[in-house]
Amino acid sequence: MGIFIPHEALSNLKNYKYQSDDRSLVTKYVLKPFWLKFVKIFPLSMAPNAVTLSGLGFVIVNLITTLYYDPYLDTPSPRWTYFTYAFGLFMYQTFDACDGAHARRTGQSGPLGELFDHCVDAVNTTLCLIVFGSVTQTGCGFILLLSQFGTLANFYLSTWEEYHTHVLYLSEISGPVEGILIIIAMHLATGIFGSTIWTTPLFQLDLGWLTQGNVGFTATHAYTFIGAAGLYFNIHSARRNVNNAFKNNKAKLNEATKGLIPFFAYYTSIVVLLVTNPAILDNTIPLVISIGLTIAFSVGRIITAHLTIQAFPMINPPMFIPTVQLISIPVLTHVFGYDYQKVLTALGWGGLGLTVGIHSMFVTEIIYEITTYLDIYALTIKHPKTA
């Protein structure tokens, strides 16, 4: 088809070389020895991408459990569910870490594996966020969307960083390692002490100059501030690494910085949509998933461009959906006379459907183009490793 990978760019896949810089001490001394032993449970006939996809299955089970017991993310679930969330997330992290080692065991390392891994991670980020929102009782409101902004900003910048430096950096404290372990610990703590630990005030703040009376400072406020600090650290780290890559070429650095515009322009449109139509939060879950899939599509295109040596993708169609929704609301309500709330519901679910469709088209084409060119299969092994 050649929509996302021009046929002349496919030959660049042959030049693929994976490079990473993992500075995590937890990975080096604790997790990596465990992963190297755990990876042996996977049969040599199992494709590495099947390992990655199987890991996502644990997160999907967590999501289904969450939506069954707490669809609005504001009601305590049975205690045992929090332990299953912790287990599922730990297994996802383990499978995600083992797919690369399994690829080397089976002789199946290649560009499709890196792309597949990043795309699954991008989807997982939002799915885990919904589960996390239930655990911490954030509800389907601005805190959930703010948390999603932080996690997706981190993911987008990490991918932007890899595109320009050609190295996947994992800092001393990174989301895929320490971040996930902290969330697992929070799931376990919730299972032991109950979800009220996140909503019970730790102390009172006197904000009489700003609001009426005192405000209870909860654990939710605490992890929000900690998360914001972590986001700042990761943004600074990504920016520093790109600066170092272009330290002798200011023009290229300025050009690279432009790659951040699509993400922040997209989120600006979301903020405008929410500020002008706050009732859209009545359909938060489809909105959150739509946002997550939009960024998954965008980072997927960035990784594809990185692997096939294409220009940085500045235009991503799903990023225009909030703007289209913003324009459609007054047209449908004032010109055609449709009920306002029904319009918001229809546009929310319609935006999700459109995002799913575009993302599915992208994934289908990328898998077809790469597997056809490299003569491989996506989820099975076509050419087994010879001794």
Amino acid present at 168: L
Q: CB-based contacts of 231: which residues, under 8 Å, 6+ apart?
A: 150, 153, 154
Reply yes or no on whether 118 is catalytic.
Answer: yes
CA distance 385 to 60: 32
Tokens of 285: 């879950």
CA distance 311 to 161: 14
Cα–Cα separations (whole angstroms), residue 239 to 20, 159, 232, 260: 17, 12, 10, 11
Handedness of CA 345, 85, 83, 25 (dihedral sign): negative
Q: Which residue has the tokens 């605490």?
A: 222
Catalytic residue selected from 102, 118, 164, 306:
118
Cα–Cα separations (whole angstroms), residue 179 to 108, 240, 241: 29, 21, 20
Which residues in 114-153 are b (16+ Cβ under 10 Å) and which e?
Answer: bbbbbbbbbbbbbbbbbbbbbbbbbbbeebbbebbbbbbb
Query: Which of the residues are catalytic?
Result: 118
